[in-house]
Each structure stands twice: as C-alpha cells, then as structure tokens.
Amino acid sequence: MARSSATTRLLYLAIAAGIILFDRWTKWLVAQRIALFDSVTVVPGFFKITHLRNKGAAFSLFANAPDAWRTATLVIFSLVALVVVLVLLVKSSHRLSLQGVALSLILGGAVGNLWDRMVHGWVTDFLLVYYRQWEWPAFNVADSAICVGAVLLIGEMLFKREAEPSAERVSPR
C-alpha cells in the first residue's frame, strides 16, 4: 500500500514532534524532582539519572567559552542544521524510508536541545552511564534521538543496496 507524500510528511513530523514532546517532558520531570547536581541511581554501578546543565554542545564541547559567543554560535549552528535536515526530509518525503525516519529523529532532537539553549542558555542533561571511575558524558532524550538518527543514516549509506543494477554490472547476453 503506497502512502501519499503528504501522509509520509505528516508521519515524519509526528516522529519529530514525539521526540520533542518526550524530550521536554523528561527534562521537566528531572528539573521538578531532582535538585541540580543530585542523582538517583537506577542500576548500581552502571546508570544514574542526574540533573545537570550543559552550557556547551555535545559532550560539553565549548562549555568554557564566553557565554555570548558560545550561545550565539550554538544557536546559529543549530538553526543551519535544522534547515539542512528539513530540506533533506522534504526531499525524501515522497515515500516512507529509513532515511526519513532517521532525519525525523535528528530533527526532533535538534529542536529539543535548541529549545533549551534559546530559553535557558543551557541544555538539561540527565542520563549518566558509568562504570567505576569511567563516566560517559551525561546526555538526554534529544541527544539520544540525534545519535540514533545519525547511526541509522550511516548504516543506510554503508549497507544500502542499489534499487537497480548499475550498467557496469549488467552483462550483455
């Protein structure tokens, strides 16, 4: 059963909107229930929910840069990335595809973190994976959606099979 372009676009926007809403809700819950810098252990020795503020980009990149420069740069970069993702999503919306789902995840995650950055000047991070002294940088639902979307895009590029054989592969008979 073929889907229309409009239906596919709506599905992609629904995925992005779902990520944005889930991201906003989880960040709100953490801010309401866990004091800043406090943690709740979920899996001892492996996983905590902790309330942190990340003024930088992914993995606190640029966190120590001057506030005005950092915020403006990250907002501009995010807006440019959003435009690129939206253009790619519109181009791929003629049919349901893994690429479209991946771009929707990236779009939702980017909007979720951009929202925090524009409203607060920081992004709320709260998922913390650790083992002994080793800690992965804290992250959130938006970060997770962006990473899953990026992995899906990379996987599709690496493992995508061509729909039609190329001219070089076709042997004349």
Catalytic residue at 125? yes
Catalytic residue at 38? no
- Residues 75 and 63: their CA atoms lie apart, in Å, by 14
**What is the pLDDT confidence band of residue 170, given thresholds at 50, 70 and 90?**
low
Q: pTM to 2 decimals?
A: 0.84
For 10-54, write each residue's pLDDT tens digit: 999 999 999 999 999 999 999 999 999 999 999 999 999 999 999
User: Residue 72: what pLDDT?
Assistant: 79
Question: Which element (helix H / strand E) includes 114?
Answer: helix 98-120
For 60-112, write each residue's pLDDT tens digit: 566 666 666 777 788 888 899 999 999 998 888 788 999 999 999 999 999 99
User: Residue 135: what pLDDT?
Assistant: 95
User: Residue 136: what pLDDT?
Assistant: 94
For 116-159, write each residue's pLDDT tens digit: 999 998 999 999 999 999 999 999 999 999 999 999 999 998 98
